[in-house]
Amino acid sequence: MRKPDLELIQLTKRYGDTVAVDAIDLKIEAGSYCCLLGPSGCGKTSTLRMIAGHETVSGGDVVFGPANITDLPPAKRGTAMMFQSYALFPHLSCIDNVAFSLKMKGVDRAARRARAAEMLDLVAMAPYGERLPAQLSGGQQQRVALARALITEPQIVLLDEPLSALDPFLRTRMRVELKALQRRLGIIFVHVTHSQDEAMALADLAVIMKDGRIEQAGSPRELFNAPRTAFVAKFIGGHNVLQGPAGAFAVRADRLRLGRAAASPSAGPGLAAVVRSVEYQGTFVQLTLDGGAGSEITATLDEPTFDATPFQPGDPVAVSWSEADVHRLASAA
């Protein structure tokens, strides 16, 4: 039997006169990993908290399968939330932290600790069951918090920037583990992040929000290759938003061609610029260019291409691209 989808219908959140989430519509298919991303204040966390039942809904509905769960208390929704701070009880061992919700439901000690041990084993934390949170690393605390969320057997797991407190190496490792766990469980994960890399790595469905509205939703590949607006192109990264006679358009940074300004211009569209900075990134070299009138252009070149024609800050360059690499945008905003 197919598991249920999660659907937000005209979902709205107001705080006084401020509209934090503005009548959004979104369908998250069963078993998918959805990332809500956008700048601070875009409405992503308010959306997550309305799904969880931790914020009242000002308008619209939260529907899970055939059930409208908009007005249900958090414990009745089939959801579990993992907070950014992990919120572990400092005086309880890991196993008792994980078992806490079962204790509140009246499950006897032996049964709840046995179930908690299973959850700790699921997140590779079984050997640390008797330790206190203060005796764990950040990544280990995260695993315990995740085990605590999963012990209630939720059908939706909600994660509020769960990787933000980790160092870059551990963040990369943990997102691999999160995705693997979600696939193994086969349930919906909704993950709030401000990190484009995180969303690109994790999401089946990436939802970019701006000013309380959904700017664009789709697979990471779709968003990267076909951004609809200048905001999406800039936020998802890897694109230059330029202005032409027909309006705004985007060209990927890795599709730009750079030549010496004195050389013959390449066929196709282009512009003149000045190199502002050169950054070696291992597999590629990233150049920031001043396109004039305050415009900034980013170009990425593979090592052999850069080495064949190395540029330094202050060098004038001729920037060109193929018309086939131009992606028209709906707006320049």
pLDDT of 56 strictly over 90: yes
Residue 91 Cα distances to 94, 124, 132, angstroms: 10, 22, 7
Give residue-wise pLDDT tens across range 261-270. 865 555 568 8
Mean pLDDT in residue range 117-139: 91
Alpha carbons 143 and 177: distance in angstroms, whole number: 10
- Contact partners, residue 65, CB within 8 Å, separation at least 6: 3, 4, 5
Locate CATH 2.40.50.100 in the chain: 240-328
Q: Which of 25-39, 73-87, 246-260 has the lowest mean pLDDT?
A: 73-87
Give residue-wise pLDDT tens across range 237-259. 899 999 877 779 999 999 999 99
- 6-225: CATH topology: Rossmann fold (3.40.50)
pLDDT of 47 strictly over 90: yes
Give residue-wise pLDDT tens across range 176-192. 988 999 999 999 999 99
Residue 5: which pLDDT band, with cuts at 50, 70 and 90?
very high
Distance of CA 234 to the CA centre of its chain: 15
Distance of CA 43 to the CA centre of its chain: 13
pLDDT of 174 strictly over 90: no
pLDDT of 229 strictly over 90: yes
Write down the pLDDT at residue 245. 76
Give residue-wise pLDDT tens across range 97-124. 999 989 988 999 999 999 999 999 988 8
Can you tell me which residue has the tokens 């055939």?
A: 66
Rounded to the nearest integer, the mean pLDDT of the chain is 91
- Contact partners, residue 169, CB within 8 Å, separation at least 6: none
Mean pLDDT in residue range 292-313: 91
Q: CA triplet 136, 141, 143: central angle to 5 degrees?
A: 125
Mean pLDDT in residue range 10-38: 96
- Cα radius of gyration rounded to whole Å, the chain: 24
| Count of Cβ atoms closer than 10 Å to residue 239 Cβ | 24
CATH architecture of 240-328: Beta Barrel (2.40)
Residue 204: which pLDDT band, with cuts at 50, 70 and 90?
very high
pTM: 0.87
Write down the pLDDT at residue 46. 96
In the three-class reduction of DSSP (H, G, I as helix; E, B as strand; rest coil), residue 242 is classed as: strand
Alpha carbons 3 and 170: distance in angstroms, whole number: 32
Can you tell me which residue has the tokens 């664009």?
A: 216
Locate CATH 3.40.50.300 in the chain: 6-225
